[in-house]
Amino acid sequence: MTATISKVTTIGHWAGGKSFPGSSQRTAPVTNPATGVVTGEVALADVDDARAVIDAAAAAFPAWRDTSLAKRSQILFAFRELLNARKDEIAAIITSEHGKVLSDAAGEVSRGQEVVEFACGIPHLLKGGMTENASTNVDVASIRQPLGVVGIISPFNFPAMVPMWFFPIAIAAGNTVVLKPSEKDPSAALWIAALWKEAGLPDGVFNVLQGDKVAVDELLTNKTVKSISFVGSTPIAEYVYATGTAHGKRVQALGGAKNHAVILPDADLDLAADAMINAGFGSAGERCMAISAAVAVGPVADELVAKIKERAATLKTGDGTRNSDMGPLVTKAHRDKVASYIDAGEADGATVVVDGRNPQVDGEADGFWLGPTLLDNVTPEMSVYTDEIFGPVLSVVRVDTYDDALELINNNPYGNGTAIFTNDGGAARRFQNEVEVGMIGINVPIPVPTAYYSFGGWKASLFGDTHAHGTEGVHFFTRGKVVTTRWLDPSHGGINLGFPQNA
């Protein structure tokens, strides 16, 4: 089916405080997933376009680096206030291009705003250390300074929150930013750029580069760009990390996930069932922190599956502007790919308890719809378990013991997020100690940390050793200097070719 084309807007780049279309003739369609209607054409940068945006960021860096912390904080606070007052505007943009329901889009913006608020405290976060008289008449001080131009490559599923994991801290620390949003939902980035300008951010400090692999590769190889922050699939994260580090860049590349929730026999099954619905089907499962595998331990599986099925039947799938619980998937191709996993799971012997392949929806017929799907009796050999599906498909895996559940998770190549549901404090404490995953929830299904802690996984879910936001983010976007100072009296110290010694 060919998507209907309505009034189409041109979505360009942003550099030096203004938008520009670029010189490339290549574009990609931007579609409203709830209607199937093409609403925009986003520019796909060529190398010249990418360099123009990077050069704008480079030109702005010296002045921004030398701007006082007090002034930077004032601009951060102004941006925070504007964002808080107008978050409904960006939520509507997100819903129109991504498809998630408005309440979910607003929640995404609020979580990103937490990092803005964290970055408002940058004067305290950048405090160095100082030791007086470390050696006779010698003082030693440590300072943190910005890197320069930093690149951010963000995914389609959180067009506001994921960039906000990075750019508030990067900007507050004195860097200039080039953001490369997903070409599937590029408009939120431009709205953010205009808001920064309104907040008083100097031109060129925040820039937007639209595009595909051409733009990404220029960010990864251009020597002006000093760091890369990436969120996306594991194969691309690995490519970004390998290419960026090979070109001398500092890289944090957050990859894919296969998040498990362990439900122990003593768990509150109503709480666990609610949590599986929320974490499995929120944002149509298009979250890197979505629960996609519910690991039922011992005798609880039948009752748990029944409770999830009962709740799934109450969910309303439809247009995100119509008070629905779950919206469409981002593209038709992705919708069809996710549906194919349901086909494969059924063919492999999984039980289709709730089938979302032909949902009743409150929305246009050409929307990219897939309803909540629950598969039972899933085994680790099935593709529905091994692959990151990124859709509203929840698999129930049955195991006999806690040790079996732990082994299942630790043997998985991903290590992004996990959860355990139990009333046993000892079991919970053992789980948090033994599980090989970066973010853990205890009776919390989506354990996304607050902004002053870091976000990041283990194993194939993270390439690089630095997580997003928190104090790790401050360290990622700065580098250290140590200054050793000696002020002598007028007499000469004499000649000494030996290695300096402390005394």
Q: Tens place of pLDDT for every residue, the chain, 503 residues?
A: 344 445 678 999 999 999 999 999 999 999 999 999 999 999 999 999 999 999 999 999 999 999 999 999 999 999 999 999 999 999 999 999 999 999 999 999 999 999 999 999 999 999 999 999 999 899 999 999 999 999 999 999 999 999 999 999 999 999 999 999 999 999 999 999 999 999 999 999 999 999 999 999 999 999 999 999 999 999 999 999 999 999 999 999 999 999 999 999 999 999 999 999 999 999 999 999 999 999 999 999 999 999 999 999 999 999 999 999 999 999 999 999 999 999 999 999 999 999 999 999 999 999 999 999 999 999 999 999 999 999 999 999 999 999 999 999 999 999 999 999 999 999 999 999 999 999 999 999 999 999 999 999 999 999 999 999 999 999 999 999 999 999 876 655 677 788 877 76
Rounded to whole angstroms, how far apart are CA atoms 297 and 403? 10
The amino acid at residue 236 is: I
Rounded to whole angstroms, how far apart are CA atoms 7 and 28? 15
Nearest to 53 by CA among 9, 11, 17: 17
Backbone phi, psi, residue 201, to 5°: -70, 130
SS3 content of the chain, % helix, strand, coil (to 5): 40, 25, 35
CB within 8 Å of 153: residues ≥ 6 apart: 180, 216, 219, 228, 229, 230, 231, 232, 240
CB within 8 Å of 202: residues ≥ 6 apart: 17, 60, 63, 64, 67
Rounded to whole angstroms, how far apart are CA atoms 6 and 28? 15
Q: What is the pLDDT of residue 499?
A: 81
Nearest to 212 by CA among 227, 242, 232: 232
**Alpha-helix residue ranges (DSSP H) falling in 120-203:** 122-125, 161-172, 187-199
Nearest to 263 by CA among 251, 271, 255, 253: 271
- The CA-based dihedral angle spanning residues 133, 137, 143, 148, taken in that order and rounded to the nearest 10 degrees: -170
CB within 8 Å of 354: residues ≥ 6 apart: 308, 309, 312, 313, 371, 372, 373, 374
> What is the number of alpha carbons within 13 Å of residue 40 lying toward its C-beta?
20
Nearest to 16 by CA among 224, 155, 196, 150: 196
Instruction: List, in order of start, the domains of the chain with CATH numbers.
Output: 7-254+460-480 (3.40.605.10), 257-440 (3.40.309.10)
288 catalytically annotated: yes
Structure-block tokens of residue 296:
């039922």
Strands 13-15 and 18-20: antiparallel
Catalytic annotation, pick one of 126, 288, 312, 446 = 288
Neighbours of 134 (CB within 10 A): 14
Angle made by CA atoms 393, 272, 347, in degrees to the nearest 5: 30
Q: Can you point out the beta strands (E) in 298-415?
A: 317-318, 351-354, 361-362, 373-376, 393-399, 414-415
Question: How much is the pTM?
Answer: 0.95
Q: What is the pLDDT of residue 489?
A: 64
Q: What is the pLDDT of residue 503?
A: 65
Structure-block tokens of residue 143:
């300072």
